[in-house]
A and B are shown apart, each in its own frame.
Chain A
Amino acid sequence: MKIALKINTEASTFEADPDMPLLWLIRDEAKLKGTKFGCGKGICGACSVHIDGELVRSCLYPAHMAHEKAVTTIEGLSKGQDRLHFVQQAWLEVQVPQCGYCQPGFMMAAADFLKRHKNPTEEDIQNSISNICRCGTYPRIIKAILLAAQTKNHESID
């Protein structure tokens, strides 16, 4: 079927099997490789994207459901070319990534989390984000989210 959707700023149409996971459409058809595959079962969060502003694990999301929706991937998280999203900025500041493979998913989850939590505690973070990082960057992820929350509150950016 023809699937028309907006990915980041670009409106595109793809011919794809309606039941194909959106993840493969994003990676293999739209050629945006920042969104990763980790488990294929909605557990690890490596494939996290935003669809119409909602956090979604794209490995379990059939492509046809994204028809006429707006998808944001890690490549589109920062709106401008010259500026990082405040979550990415915090990630860089805290030097979170090791292998880095899980990080796009974590940043997408963190950006979504911070929309709902203005002044999160460490516990809020630990209880809300269930993504997996095998390199064990969790201590820095918590630090980066706390830092991002502060920046956001101070600068009221989105």
Chain B
Amino acid sequence: MKVSTEKPKKGFSRRKFLARSGATILGSVALLYFGRSRVRGALSNLAAGMKFDSGVTDFDPTVWFEVNADNTITLKSPKVEMGQGIFTGFAILAAEELDVDFAGIKVVHASTLSGPQSTASTGMSNSTASLYTGIREVAATLRETLKLAASKLWGVPITTLQTADGVITSGSHRATYAEIAQQTKKWKLAQTPALRPASTFKLIGKEHKRVDAEEKVLGKAVYGIDTDIPGMLYGSVLYCPYFGGEVKTADTSRASDSPGVLKIVQDKQWIGVVARTRYAAEQAVSKIEVSWAFEPNYSTRDAIEAITVGNGVAVVMQDEGDATVDSKSERMIGEYRTPLGYHASMEPSVMIADVSGETVTLYASTQNSAFMRETIAAETDFKEENIEIIPRFIGGGFGRRGYKHNGIEAVKLSKAAGKPVHLLYTRQQEFQNGHVRPNTHHIIHGQLDTNGKVSVLQHEFATGSMAFLAVPIAKTIIGADFPAAGHGARIPYTIPNKTTKIWGGDLPFQTGLWRGVGMFANTFAMESFMDEMAERAGVDPLKFRIEHCGNTELLQRRKKLLLKLGEEGGWNTPKTDSLGRGIAVCEDRGTISAALVEVQIIDKKIKVTRVVQAIDAGIIVNPNGVRQQVEGATIMAISAAIYEEATIENSQFVQTNFVDYQVATLRDTPQIEVIIQGSLELPSGVGEPPISPVAPAIANAIYNLSGIRLRSLPLQAALEAHYRDSEK
């Protein structure tokens, strides 16, 4: 699935393109349905490694851009800015072809009624990767379209026109883009021209400040939660904290009498209040007396049992050579687990619905406007064409905002109140009623040959759903969630006999995508086991990995990156006995990401003191943006690796706020160095890949320091369990 040359997306053959992608989807579903497990296996490989389409089909410049009177250009982004720096990346890409000052491009979110649409969510680290060519093409087409208009106005051949700094010239003629736009009544769209070659790039690859930095520093950036429209009221909803629970009995009389209350709406699974202020709404909710009907007694232990290799539906993702374990050499077994985890974005899910007659306007913190709109149409009486979703800056996505959240409730409350309603999850609701990262279980078998090389490796992996919530039918047809959960499960190294099988178990609560998707858990297991095998073979862990990088292009890139990381990160430099050093690497949809970590254990507490991350993500659009993503992923990975775990008692999540769900703070910040390996490959993602190698690198460093092998996350809890066991 690797695309290494740029195929121009010809003109604006929207319909043709749509028809084509529709056929592919239908085709693969039919295959899956009728196919045998081999076909499923083949498709799983395809899906797990595939580069996702942007979901954008409209590359008409008049849909994407507005040329403003002050000669700035507005770019309507079909992808949402949630911190990943996509507005900056898009501005750089557009400016490169438009011949305008980078600062003169104002990036805004497209709504579902205006601007280019994306049927795919913002995520999978695919925004830059999938639109790298498309945005430059649509910008180049705008430039040529403006030139075409100018050549008509001036009656000169288009070949005589030059563009620079937002100005078109030809001989004595001179006009800004804005002037041309104002004088043009009827537009004729130009053909999409050839793109500028990388060797002439003026902006791509240079250091750029973020276009949204200043408004964010001033506190002026507008997030979903900041939406404030005239006449707006505030909602507060009482949700059932128990999995799948419904209202059994409810007494809302005290709530109705509470000051400021205007409406109470009771649904099957929730009771909502609309009031003049948020405080009044929350006070009223606290006065509702309710009893819930739910299936009691589900606990963490049940979730662990459900997610265990051998339970549920299995898909074979990889089967090469003969992996039946040969009895001559000793077999090694590693068993690993990762826990349930929250996204814990700082801005809780928030929706502001404005229902008026037949129409709905929804201001939303969402990574997936198209899905949001479909869901509202499906679950309320409103027609899809009458629903507009207006995305705002998101206060942290990480996969959390791909679902419907409180959108339906907001719409129902606004409809009942006849006014716009602002609805925000409390932190407790964000944790207890959100989507969590499913737990995982891994069993890996391996054997070494007489030369200390891995001859057999088998990975079996179990988890819940990640991507299937948006398309439930897919689960019925496919079984285990290979596109998302199976991501990273396959064994990448050159090993003659290898198999990967993934198991899909059922969990009774909402699970979903989390930064790094399946790669996070799978890399923890696989790269920990690689260290265990290196130890058994008596080979240095870095060297051992390199020895298993064969001749494929991706493995050669992996090898090169590992060597660079070892060299520049000081893998072989002397260190004290109080310091442990570990390494790990992953390949995530074309990006190679490797981490070298140094840890200490101080008073039985794990402390990461230094992380060197190396990343090879093809052409880099903005190195500053890449470094930000790598640093951020490193901190989030340290947090998830060492501390984070959601647990369940009596069918509800125990952790309700940051008091009992510990995340990394300033104190956990190590020294971080980022090595960017440049390449001429098309860009691949940077937001997720660097999160995955950190946890195994920490576990490997702990082993290097103490001889203690921790095989489950979070590592601090695993270390404490180890100390307890060894005291017995």
Contacts and interface: CB of A to CB of B under 8 A. Distances in A.
Interface string B658-691: 1100011111110010000000000000000000
Nearest to B215: A100
B384 interface: no
Interface in B501-539: none
Nearest to A44: B658
Given A24-B278, A44-B346, A36 B225 contact: yes
Contacts of A96: 213, 217
Contacts of A33: 219, 222, 225-226, 228
Contacts of B424: 37
Interface stretch (B330-338, B439-447, B463-471, B625-633): B625-633
A134 to B, nearest CB: 5
Interface stretch (A50-58, A84-92, A149-157): A84-92
Contact of B83 (A73, A91, A131, A135): A135
A100 B395 CA distance: 7
A156 to B, nearest CB: 22
B396 A107 contact: no
B217 A91 contact: yes
A126 B393 CA distance: 28
Contact of A136 (B280, B394, B633): B633
A95 B628 contact: yes
B531 to A, nearest CB: 25
Interface in A39-80: 39-41, 43-44, 46, 73-75, 77-78
A133 B393 CA distance: 16
B529 to A, nearest CB: 27
Given A37-B225, A133-B346, A139-B631, A103 B666 contact: no
A116 to B, nearest CB: 16
Interface string B628-641: 11011111100100
Contact of B217 (A28, A35, A92, A129): A92
B628 A99 contact: no
B216 A97 contact: yes
Nearest to A137: B632
B631 A134 contact: no
Contacts of A91: 217
Interface residues of B, number: 63
Contacts of A141: 666
A139 B632 CA distance: 9
Interface in B200-217: 209-210, 212-214, 216-217
B427 interface: yes
B278 A46 contact: no
B82 A28 contact: no
Contacts of A135: 83, 346, 396, 632, 636
Contacts of B222: 33
A20 B427 CA distance: 18
B574 to A, nearest CB: 24
Interface residues of A, number: 57
Main secondary structure of the interface of A (DSSP, over half): loop
B219 A17 contact: no
Contacts of A131: 665-666
Contact of B346 (A41, A102, A126, A127): A102
Contacts of B175: none
A97 B632 contact: no
B666 A142 contact: yes
A36 B393 CA distance: 13
A7 B181 CA distance: 44
A59 B209 CA distance: 32
Contacts of A20: 277, 279
Contacts of A129: 666
A37 B225 CA distance: 9
Contacts of A136: 631-636, 639, 664
Contacts of B397: 99
A134 B663 contact: yes
A28 B277 contact: yes
B658 A41 contact: yes
Contacts of A97: 83, 210, 212-213, 216-217
B427 A98 contact: no
B571 interface: no
B427 A99 contact: no
B657 A41 contact: yes
B348 interface: yes
B431 to A, nearest CB: 10
A140 B625 CA distance: 13
A98 B659 contact: no
A75 B219 contact: yes
Contacts of B226: 33
B277 A17 contact: yes
Contacts of A133: 346, 635
A100 B221 contact: yes
Nearest to A103: B216
Contacts of A31: 228
A118 to B, nearest CB: 19
A38 B631 contact: no
Given A36-B225, A38-B346, A104-B219, A140 B658 contact: no
A46 B214 CA distance: 18
Contacts of B82: 99
B347 interface: yes
B347 A101 contact: yes
Interface string B163-184: 0000000000000000000000
A130 interface: yes
Contacts of B133: none
Contacts of A114: none
Interface in B339-393: 343-348, 393
B636 A43 contact: no
Contacts of B394: 99
Contacts of B278: 24, 28
A125 interface: yes
B426 interface: yes
B171 to A, nearest CB: 42
A138 B347 contact: no
A37 B658 contact: no
B624 to A, nearest CB: 6
Given A36-B347, A135-B396, A100 B667 contact: no
B223 interface: yes
Interface string B225-257: 110100000100000000000000000000000
B110 to A, nearest CB: 19
B218 interface: yes
Given A40-B426, A97-B217, 17 more contacts: A17-B283, A24-B278, A33-B219, A37-B348, A38-B347, A39-B658, A41-B657, A97-B213, A99-B82, A99-B346, A99-B395, A99-B397, A100-B393, A131-B665, A133-B635, A138-B668, A142-B666
Interface of A: 16-17, 19-21, 24, 28, 31, 33-41, 43-44, 46, 73-75, 77-78, 84, 88, 91-92, 95-104, 107, 125-127, 129-142
27 contacts: A16-B277, A24-B278, A33-B228, A34-B219, A41-B427, A41-B659, A91-B217, A92-B214, A96-B213, A97-B213, A98-B83, A98-B84, A98-B85, A99-B82, A99-B345, A99-B397, A100-B221, A103-B217, A125-B666, A126-B666, A126-B667, A126-B669, A129-B666, A134-B396, A137-B631, A142-B666, A142-B669
Q: Which 3 A-B pairs have the closest CB atoms?
A: A34-B219, A136-B635, A99-B83
